[in-house]
Amino acid sequence: MTTHWHAIGDYGLIGDCRIAALVNRNGSIDWLCLPHYAGPAFFAAILDRSKGGRFSVKPAVPYQVERHYVGNSNVLQTTFKVDGGELRLTDAICIPGSLEGQQLQPQRELLREIEAVGTGIPVEVVYEPRPNYGRANANLITLGKLGWRCAWRDHLLLLQSDLPLGLATDGTSIGAEVRLGPGERHFLSATYVRNDIGVILPLGSAATARIDATACWWQRWLGLCTYEGPYSGPVRRSALVLKLMTFSLSGAVIAAPTTSLPEVIGGVRNWDYRYCWLRDASLTLEAFNGLGFESEGAAFLNWLLHATRLTWPRLQVLYDVYGEARINEETLDHLEGYHGSRPVRIGNGAWDQLQLDVYGSVIMAAAMHVTRGGQLGRGERRLLVGLGRRVCQVWRYTDHGIWEIRGERRQHTYSKVTCWAALDCLIELAKQGVLSAPADDFRRERDAIRAAIEEQGYSRVCSSYTAAFDSVEPDASLLLLPRYRYCKANDPRMVSTFAFVDSELGVGPLLYRYRANCDGLEGKESTFAACSFWAVDYLARVGRVAEARDRFERLLDYANDLGLYGEEIDAETGAAVGNFPQAFTHIGLINAALSLAEAERRDDGNRRSSA
């Protein structure tokens, strides 16, 4: 079955904090990995229209589409408007334990409810699982009234429905073409287990109850949000996205639930983002804590400090949700890639790069936890001091930088700043009596880092901090310097750095992260959405609140109809590109909104004081 390519921004996201699925506007689930975010894909049509596999439900007549999330939840409802009526498709990955009294549960359940409203509607259903990224046979077997079985190795996927489904002539898919009468409602429940007995759950009102319970679970969680600032809707949707990409069994936050969605259509910058990047740690913790989700912040920090024990005192760039350190990269050459964008990669070769910024990110996250009243155990205090000693040893090294350049290592200015911040935080924690550290040694190295940055990381030619020592290249990561307390936002060097970065990398409210052709790869990339929100954050911090608001509001226009952002934004078309949705972008949105809210409170206070 071959269909047209859907735009990346056409997809919605559903999940249960362990797995995530992408659903396009035509009701097709084109991406689902099991048993966790980085597991093998069972549906991957987003990467290959014929070999990837999909789970599609849609009318068999022309239609128009509207969709929304049910309340403040991650339950998605797609409405297909047809002549005289509509077909409502409600999709949920059910939260285990959200329904009281439900004893026996599968490890995962994808539940789809379809309802005809106003008129009879012909409906097409296509269920074509393709285990292991389409590399394994589906082996679909009927279980009679108990539905259908798809087994691969120790994975078992069961499909149960009250629709009359049948096996396709080639035996590789299940489908149906049925006419639903007005008010008629049906269900499709795909349950999954690994190394366990299969579980088939009741349909009908029991299935509706599971969907409702899942929506209520999300709404109760979001009810804990304490944010009262501007743009509450986008902030809360971003919080829901971030929670969905938080692995409930460990607290790890993945960068995105997808792999190999290209940064430019047809390009080679196609990476697997289904892992946890340490560079995001402090910004992620700040987003959770700033919205009042203290338990998520604490769980994430706990994962950080325990996962990194495996390589301590050396930190890697990324780990999987369980803390696995070796994320070997391979290409799936049998897949055509999204819109022909190849290679398709699984795993990520950046795991063994040297990125010095990870030390600062982890230590800043721990310091933030303490600032908000959190405690550190003896082992955790020892771990942090060990990381500080490691920073003293390695900060002079060249590295691959925050952007994971797959080329020659350089003296990246941002990396040095985060090393400075790491030692600065440890010195402060020692001063507060939180931990015992060689403060004099840390202070000496911290001051040496600053001296090197100010001498070699700032260009008098450009009047700006630059991407690397003794260079004249802009880098959008430098907009974070005030957030890390390296300098104040109104420091003259920082003011001129923002002007340089914005003029060299800006396109309206959007920012590229660096100049074209700086990463050694063929072709170009698109603007980086998180960096665009960092500009808002800086403007709010420096007191240019009206400008910050204007940029923020223009950036909101680049979200899709469900409020989701990808990694990058095509400056010409406004289309989302790169892996989708992207946690880093939604974290950037949240933190920019928090800075805006703080700036507005500060301005209000100043006005009252002067009145």
Evaluate whether residue 72 is within a structural domain: yes
Mean pLDDT in residue range 246-273:
96
The span from the CA of 278 to the CA of 276, in Å, is: 6
Task: Say if residue 348 is in the same domain as residue 201.
Answer: no
| pLDDT of res. 169 | 86
Evaluate whether residue 3 is within a structural domain: no
Instruction: Provide the b/e sequence for 514-541 (b: ≥16 CB within 10 Å).
Output: beeebbeeeeebbbbbbbbbbbbbbbbb
Q: Where are the alpha helices (DSSP H) in 506-544?
A: 529-542
Confidence band of 407 (pLDDT split at 50, 70, 90): confident
> What CATH number does the domain containing 571 carry?
1.50.10.10
Task: Say if residue 190 is in the same domain as residue 314.
Answer: no
pLDDT for residue 594 is more than 90: yes
| pLDDT of res. 245 | 98
Evaluate whether residue 96 is within a structural domain: yes
Evaluate whether residue 2 is within a structural domain: no
Evaluate whether residue 106 is within a structural domain: yes
Read off the pLDDT of residues 314-371 as tens digits, 9 standing for 90 and up: 999 999 999 998 999 999 999 999 999 999 999 999 998 999 999 999 999 999 999 9
Task: Say if residue 68 is in the same domain as residue 178.
Answer: yes
| pLDDT of res. 310 | 84
Evaluate whether residue 227 is within a structural domain: no
CA atoms within 13 A on the CB side of 584: 25
CA angle 345, 348, 353 (to 5 degrees): 145
Domain final residue pick, 170, 193, 222: 222
Mean pLDDT in residue range 413-419:
98
Read off the pLDDT of residues 172-230 as tens digits, 9 standing for 90 and up: 999 999 999 999 999 999 999 999 999 999 999 999 999 999 999 999 999 999 999 99
DSSP annotation of 480 reads G
Task: Say if residue 217 is in the same domain as residue 238.
Answer: no
Q: What percentage of the chain exceeds 70 in pLDDT? A: 98
Domain final residue pick, 173, 190, 222: 222
Task: Say if residue 29 is in the same domain as residue 138.
Answer: yes
The span from the CA of 74 to the CA of 77, in Å, is: 10
pLDDT for residue 548 is more than 80: yes
Evaluate whether residue 213 is within a structural domain: yes
Read off the pLDDT of residues 549-590 as tens digits, 9 standing for 90 and up: 999 999 999 999 999 999 999 999 999 999 999 999 999 999
Task: Say if residue 453 is in the same domain as residue 504.
Answer: yes
Residue listed under structure tokens 């405690």:
375
Contact residues for 451 (Cβ-Cβ < 8 A; gap 6+):
none
Domain final residue pick, 222, 246, 272: 222
pLDDT for residue 2 is more than 90: no
Q: Is the peptide bond before 35 cis (omega within 30 degrees of 0)?
A: yes
H/E element, 174:
strand 174-180
Task: Say if residue 236 is in the same domain as residue 197.
Answer: no
DSSP 3-state of 161:
strand
DSSP 3-state of 5:
coil
Contact between 308 and 384 (Cβ < 8 Å):
no
Task: Say if residue 280 is in the same domain as residue 377.
Answer: yes
Confidence band of 462 (pLDDT split at 50, 70, 90): very high
Confidence band of 523 (pLDDT split at 50, 70, 90): confident
Contacts by 217-222, CB closer than 8 A, 24 or more apart: 217/73, 217/95, 217/98, 218/71, 218/72, 218/73, 218/74, 218/75, 218/95, 219/71, 219/72, 219/73, 222/72, 222/73
Confidence band of 94 (pLDDT split at 50, 70, 90): very high
Confidence band of 605 (pLDDT split at 50, 70, 90): confident
Task: Say if residue 326 is in the same domain as residue 392.
Answer: yes
Contact between 562 and 68 (Cβ < 8 Å):
yes
pLDDT for residue 144 is more than 60: yes
> What CATH number does the domain containing 196 carry?
2.70.98
| pLDDT of res. 214 | 97
H/E element, 157:
strand 155-161
| pLDDT of res. 520 | 65
Q: Tell which residue, 452, 441, 450, has the closest CA to residue 393.
A: 441
Structural domain total, the chain: 2
Contact between 575 and 582 (Cβ < 8 Å):
no
Task: Say if residue 173 is in the same domain as residue 303.
Answer: no
Domain, as residue range, for 30: 8-222
Amino acid at 303: W
Read off the pLDDT of residues 8-47 as tens digits, 9 standing for 90 and up: 999 999 999 999 999 999 999 999 999 999 999 999 999 9
Contact between 533 and 591 (Cβ < 8 Å):
yes
pLDDT for residue 135 is more than 80: yes
Evaluate whether residue 1 is within a structural domain: no
The span from the CA of 541 to the CA of 488, in Å, is: 9
Amino acid at 543: G
CA atoms within 13 A on the CB side of 497: 32
Q: What percentage of the chain exceeds 90 in pLDDT? A: 91
Q: Where are the alpha helices (DSSP H) in 103-224?
A: 131-134, 205-222
The span from the CA of 545 to the CA of 603, in Å, is: 9
Residue listed under structure tokens 């509001």:
553
Task: Say if residue 131 is in the same domain as residue 267.
Answer: no
Task: Say if residue 210 is in the same domain as residue 240.
Answer: no
Please state, rounded to an integer, the average pLDDT across all residues of the chain.
Answer: 95
Amino acid at 110: L
The first and second tokens of residue 59, run together, are 């009318």
The first and second tokens of residue 101, run together, are 């009294």
